[in-house]
Amino acid sequence: MSIRVRTKNQEPRGVRGVRKYWYFLKMMQVSPWYFLIQIVSSLCVAGFDGLSLGLLAPLLKGIIEKDFSFLGNITGVPWLMRVTGIHIQDVPSRFLFLGLVGVIFVSALLKNVVFYLSQVYMVKQREGSAFYLKNFVFQRYLTFGKLYLDKISQGYIQSDLLFADRVVRLLDALGKLLIAGFTLVVYFSIMVFVEWRLALFAVVVLPALHFSLRWLIKKIRRTAQLQSRVALKMGRQVFDILSGITVVHAYNKEEPMFRRFRQINDDIKRHNISQDKKLRMIQPFQEVLTMIAILFFVSAVAFIFVTGRAGQVSEYFLFLILVRRCAPVLIQLNRVKSDVAQLDGPMNRLLKVAEEKDKHVVSSGEEEFSGINSHIEIRNLNFQYRQHLPVVRGVSFTIPKGQMTAIVGPTGSGKTTLINLIMRFYECPPGTIFLDGKDIREYSIESLRRSISLVSQEVTLFNDTLKNNVLFGSRRDQRPGNEEVLSVFKKARLDEFVAKLPQGIHTEIGDRGVRLSGGEKQRVSIARALLRQPDIMILDEATSSLDTTTERLVQEAIEEAVKGRTAIVIAHRLSTVKNADKIVVIEEGRKIEEGHLSELIERRGAFYHYWQAQRFE
């Protein structure tokens, strides 16, 4: 099954502001119901919180005056009295007191119940979004062209997956923002109801408290970008060191590698400490400002008392409670801003992953490839990895169906590049590679690779059993059993080796096949290719890692396997290609000779000199 990434949500790297956050919400496949539920639950949390606080003033007033009959004048109570047929004057004060306390308690309880349920729902959505986002990132890497992957460290994808886990905190920030925002609206509404003059003062002071930390949020955002860059560097360095651990040990470079790691780790530590210092500055800084604001409010209340315009003591007391309750909400808002600022670095990195630019994605055609009928043709092919540094220069030749075509030449001459272009690992120029006269770009990549088996010099094996590594080469329409697997092991001359293993084909081979020798790894790769029963067999230095005896055995299996198939063989050892139907000689990216073995030897050209040089190897 081919991997196709939807591009309808893709944005250019320069997307900024609200559009960036909206883009990530779409990329995380956040359901519209999430926004509705968060808005409704946030409204309920703020409403119940405001109700429980707002009723404190009447409760205090009734306690002080020892009379709760004034409750009949509170908005909504007269309607309730008419519906129930109860007159407020007929209800004893103790029952009104208990009823008021009950309403306050139930409101506080409902607020926390709704808050808990909304948090549970948010966690479920967040984890689901992390799942989708990590799938998106991994899927993107699977579609990137080999030319792009050649340029970057494979440790990047590990860092990007960690960044995906961090970016989903955007949902947490959204939930906190809604609750804090609605809570402030409710608090301010109560303030206006209690004392509109002080509320006007709050309109000036509270926003000033909120925006007083903008300079700090900018610093947090800049540090977050530095953190993401150092994290990428750490992932790349760890991958490089551990993947090359044999070379590290062989050249006694453990200490220099550790020093390099320690330096990056020290950079991470410094950035983390710097970020943590900034984050921990938010609360004390804002609490000091809040205390200053409260003192201003107290002074304003005292002024109102002195001028003889005093209202109810309970109402001013409630007002001060509301101002004090606004402080943690404002702190929460600034924490949300700091959380979002910390996501800026990871989000910018994932934006680079999402965009198409410089990813060298190989385009797939629409037509199904069902196999070669006549020949493969390379026609005036030119290719370069970097500008002005051509690797293949005007190469032209044909590969007949059902025959073995060998490509030989010195290292770096462009032989493997030709194979990579035929395999569509790199995007080839239009009108340069044809299958039965049709441009290879017109065929779907999936159907093309379904008909090809590749045995490479650099064997890739997985930390799994021998059987599963061979089954990795099977097509979707194949259901090979143990007998078929054992058959390809026999053809690859691995049957005796497998017979000696206690667990046979179910033996674990370790990370990258570390428990196998070089020759055994190569033969497992050949068995995997044979299991696919391909129309086209490509062998890129397939016997380079084998000793003379093993090479002879595997060569017999290969010759038997390629009968009736179109085979392309790249070989350093010319004895491997002595039975080829055609030999193409490549030097410095150009084809310089072509013909049968005997023809090339008779010409006494470049191939003849290679042949003579290897006669006594």
| Residue 137 shares a structural domain with residue 180 | yes
Among 292, 322, 354, residue at a domain's last position = 354
At 3, the pLDDT band (50, 70, 90 cuts) reads very low
Kindly tell me if the per-residue pLDDT of 396 is higher than 90.
yes
Task: Read off the CATH number of the domain in which 598 is found.
Answer: 3.40.50.300
Give dist(CA 475, CA 370) in Å, integer: 14
- For 402, phi then psi, to 5°, come to 75, 10
Question: What is the DSSP secondary-structure string of 551-583?
Answer: HHHHHHHHHHHTTTSEEEEE-SSGGGGTT-SEE
pLDDT at 232: 74
Q: In the predicted model, what is the mean pLDDT of residues 280-285?
A: 75
Q: Which two tokens stand for residue 449?
A: 């690779």
pLDDT at 424 over 60: yes
DSSP state of 595: E
Around Cβ 614, how many Cβ atoms within 10 Å? 12
Most confident of 36-50, 54-68, 219-233, 258-272: 36-50
Structural domain count, the chain: 2
77 and 71 Cβ atoms separated by less than 8 Å: yes
Question: Per the domain annotation, does 517 fall within a domain?
Answer: no
Residue 502 covered by a domain: no
Q: Please tell me whether residues 161 and 200 are part of one structural domain.
A: yes
d(CA 253, CA 538): 38
Among 563, 565, 498, 570, residue whose Cα is nearest residue 527:
498
Whether the Cβ atoms of residue 156 and residue 235 lie closer than 8 Å to each other: yes
Selection from 533, 524, 538 nearest residue 459 by Cα: 524
Instruction: Give yes or no: residues 283 and 432 share one domain.
Output: no
CA angle, 255 then 256 then 257, to 5°: 90
Distances (CA, A) of 206 to 153, 199, 301, 341, 347: 48, 10, 17, 22, 31
* Section 178-182 average pLDDT: 84
pTM above the 0.85 mark?
Answer: no
Distance separating alpha carbons of residues 293 and 331, to the nearest angstrom: 14
Q: Are residues 340 and 388 in the same domain?
A: no
Closest CA to 301 of 325, 324, 319: 319
Tokens at 355, concatenated: 């965009």
- In the prediction, which pLDDT does 243 show? 67
Alpha carbon separation from 449 to 417, 421, 531, 544 (Å, rounded) = 16, 12, 14, 24
pLDDT at 432: 94
pLDDT at 14: 53
Length of the chain: 617
Query: 313 and 423 share a domain?
Result: no
Among the ranges given (37-41, 289-293, 382-386, 445-449), the one the predictor scored with the smallest mean pLDDT? 289-293
Task: Report the mean per-residue pLDDT for the chain.
Answer: 79
Last residue in a domain, options 354, 382, 416: 354
Residue 425: domain span: 362-451+567-617
What strand order describes the sheet that includes 389-400? 389-400, 375-386, 433-435, 438-439
pLDDT in tens, 21-79: 777 777 778 878 888 888 899 899 888 888 887 777 777 777 766 766 666 566 656 66
